[in-house]
């Protein structure tokens, strides 16, 4: 499943938070960094399951896209820790 959110953080900050969160926040379902680049990180967890995260600078913030078959709940929890972009009416 693919998940997406918009945050006020810079792309590099999102990736740093992700590396810490997925390795340390929930030890029973941790996923560890396998590959990374300036705009993405790939993690491996239980049974070799993959979690891929990409960040894109957009007008007003950073779009974060995550894809996985197993870690949907953890992605939701991670997204909930990110500061959201304030909407102006």
Pick 2-81's CATH classification: 3.30.530.20, 3.40.50.1360, 1.10.540.10, 3.30.470.10. 3.30.530.20
pLDDT at 89 over 50: no
pTM for this predicted structure: 0.89
DSSP string, the chain: -EEEEEESS-HHHHHHHHHHIIIII-GGG--EEEEEETTEEEEE-GGG-EEEEEEEEETTEEEEEEEESS-HHHHHHHHHHSPBPPP--
What pLDDT shows up at residue 30? 86
In the chain, domain spans: 2-81
**13-30: pLDDT as tens digits:** 999 999 999 988 766 778
87 band by pLDDT with thresholds 50, 70 and 90? low
**26-63: pLDDT as tens digits:** 667 789 999 999 999 999 988 889 999 999 999 999 99
């Amino acid at each position: 499943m693919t998940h997406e959110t918009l945050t006020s953080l810079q792309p590099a900050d999102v990736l740093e938070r992700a590396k810490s969160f997925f390795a340390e926040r929930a030890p029973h379902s941790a996923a560890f960094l396998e590959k990374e680049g300036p705009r993405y990180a790939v993690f491996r967890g239980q049974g070799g399951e993959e979690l891929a995260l990409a960040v894109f600078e957009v007008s007003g913030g950073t779009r974060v896209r995550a894809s996985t078959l197993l870690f949907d709940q953890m992605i939701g929890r991670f997204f909930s820790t990110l500061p959201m972009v304030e909407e102006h009416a």
